Amino acid sequence: MTRLNPLSLIYGGALIGLTFIVISLAGNIVGSLTSDTQFNRFTLDAYSRLLSDPGLPATLLRTLALGFGSISVTLAFAIPFAWLLARTDFKWKTGLFTLLAAKLAIPGFITAMAYVWLFNPSAGLVNALLGQTNYTGEPAFDVYQIKWLCLLQGLVLVPGAAFMLIPALRNLDGSLEEAARVAGVPAWKTFRHIVMPLLAPGILAVGVFYFVVAVEMFDFVAIIAPPGDVLVLTIYEALNTVDGLPDYGLAGAAGVLLFALSAGAILFYVRFLRQAKKYAVLGGKRRDPGLVRLGKWQRAASALVILWVTLSVGLPVVTLLWVAVVPFIQPPTFAALDSVSLYGFLDGLAYLREPLTNTAIVMAGTISMALTFAICLTWVVTRSRSTIAPWADALVFLAPAVPAIVTATAFQVMGIAVYQWLPLYGTLWLIMAAMGTRMLAYCTRTMNAAALQIHPELEEAAWVAGLSRWRTFTGVFLPLMAPAIFYAALMVGMLAARDLTLPLIMNSAGTPLVSVLIFDLQTNGETASAAAVALYMIVVLVLLALTARRLTGMAEPGLEPTR
Partner 1 sequence: MRLLFVISLIALVPLGQAVAQSSDLPESVRALIPLAEEEGALHVYGATLNPRQVRAFSKSFNDRYGTDIDLTMSGGLHSAKASEVAMAHRAGVPTGIDVFWTGLISAMVDTGALMEVDWAGHYEADASLTMGKWGLRTHDGHQSMVTINTGRVAADDAPKTYMDLLDPKWRGRIVIPRSPYPWIAMTYALGEQETVELLSRLITEQEPKMLARYADIRARVLSGEFPIALGTDIFSLKKRGAPVDHPDIDLLVLSSSGAFVLASAEHPAAAKLWGLWAVSPKGQATLEEARGYSLAETPGTALNTYATGRRVAHVPFDWRLENHDRLAEIYLEILKRAGS
Minimum distance between the CB of residue 405 and partner 1, rounded to whole angstroms? 7
Specify the residue, 190 or 409, whose C-beta has the smaller distance to partner 1. 409
Burial label, 16 (beta-carbon count in 10 A; 0-12, 13-18, 19+): middle
* Residue 236 engages partner 1 in binding (rule: CB under 8 A): yes
Nearest CB to partner 1, comparing residues 143 and 371: 143
**How far apart are CB 70 and partner 1 at their closest, in Å?**
19
Task: Give helix 404-417 / helix 248-273 axis angle, nearest 10°.
Answer: 100
Contacts with partner 1 in 198-227 (CB under 8 A)?
A: 221-223, 225-227
The least CB distance from residue 410 to partner 1, in Å, is 11
Q: In Å, what is the CA distance from 293 to each residue of 10, 90, 331, 375? A: 41, 8, 44, 34
For partner 1, the closer of residues 224 and 392 by Cβ is 224
Contact 23, 406 (CB under 8 A): no
142 sits near partner 1 (criterion: CB under 8 A): no
When the beta carbons of 243 and 556 are compared against partner 1, the nearer one is 243
Q: Which is nearer to partner 1, 246 or 314 (CB)?
A: 246
Specify the stretch interacting with partner 1 by CB under 8 A; choose among 72-80, 98-106, 242-250, 534-542: 242-250
Contact between 519 and partner 1 per CB under 8 A: yes
Q: How far is the CB of 507 from partner 1 (least distance, A)?
A: 6
Q: What DSSP character marks residue 145? A: S
How far does CA 527 lie from the centroid of its chain? 26
244 lines the binding site for partner 1 (CB under 8 A): yes
Closer of 50 and 102 to partner 1 (Cβ): 50
Min dist CB 79 to partner 1, Å, is 33
**Using rule CB under 8 A, residue 522 touches partner 1:** yes
Site string for partner 1, 369-388 (x = CB under 8 A): --------------------
284: β partners: none
Q: Helix (H, G, I), strand (E, B), or coil: what is residue 21?
A: helix
Given 464, 465, 510, 556, the residue binding partner 1 (CB under 8 A): 510
SS3 call for 32: helix
**Can you list the alpha helix ranges (DSSP code H) found in 454-526?**
456-464, 469-472, 478-480, 482-498, 501-506, 514-523
Rule CB under 8 A: is residue 342 a binding residue for partner 1? Answer: no
Q: Choose the stretch contacting partner 1; rule: CB under 8 A; options: 264-272, 357-365, 389-397, 522-530.
A: 522-530
Q: Which is nearer to partner 1, 302 or 357 (CB)?
A: 357
CA geometry: angle at 429 spanning 428 and 432, to 5°?
85
Taking the complex as a whole, the smallest distance from the CB of residue 65 to partner 1 amounts, in Å, to: 15
Q: What angle do CA 29, 30, 35 make, to 5 degrees?
A: 115
Burial of 299 (0-12, 13-18, 19+ CB in 10 A): exposed
Cα 321 to Cα 425: distance, rounded to the nearest angstrom: 38
Q: How far is CA 248 from CA 32, 141, 231, 260, 462, in A?
A: 6, 38, 14, 18, 51
Q: Does 26 bind partner 1 (CB under 8 A)?
A: no
Q: Of these, 327, 340, 372, 470, which contacts partner 1 (CB under 8 A)?
A: 327
Judged by CB, which is closer to partner 1: 131, or 510?
A: 510
Q: Name which position in 520, 540, 546, 552 contacts partner 1 (CB under 8 A).
A: 520
Please tell me whether residue 136 binds partner 1 under the rule CB under 8 A. no
- Of the candidates 194, 239, 203, the one whose C-alpha atom is nearest the C-alpha of residue 79 is 203
Residue 437 within binding range of partner 1, rule CB under 8 A: no
Site for partner 1 (CB under 8 A): which residue of 14, 505, 531, 541?
A: 505
Of the pair 335, 551, the CB lying nearest partner 1 is at 335
Q: What is d(CA 42, CA 51) in angstroms, rounded to the nearest whole number?
A: 17
497 near 105, Cβ under 8 Å? yes
With beta carbons less than 8 A apart as the criterion, state whether 319 and 114 touch.
yes
Q: Does residue 174 contact residue 290 with C-beta atoms inside 8 Å?
A: yes
Give CA–CA dist 543/390, Å, rounded: 38
Query: Is residue 115 near partner 1 by the rule CB under 8 A?
Result: no
What x-and-dash track marks residues 400-419 binding partner 1 by CB under 8 A?
Answer: -----x--xx--xx--xx-x
How many residues line the site for partner 1 (CB under 8 A)? 69
Query: Is omega for the bond preceding 557 within 30 degrees of 0, making it cis?
Result: yes
User: Three-state SS for 123?
Assistant: coil
For partner 1, the binding residues (CB under 8 A) are: 37, 39, 55, 58, 113, 116-117, 120, 122-124, 134, 144, 221-223, 225-229, 233, 236-237, 239-246, 327-331, 339, 347, 350-351, 405, 408-409, 412-413, 416-417, 419, 425-426, 504-505, 507-510, 512, 517, 519-527, 529
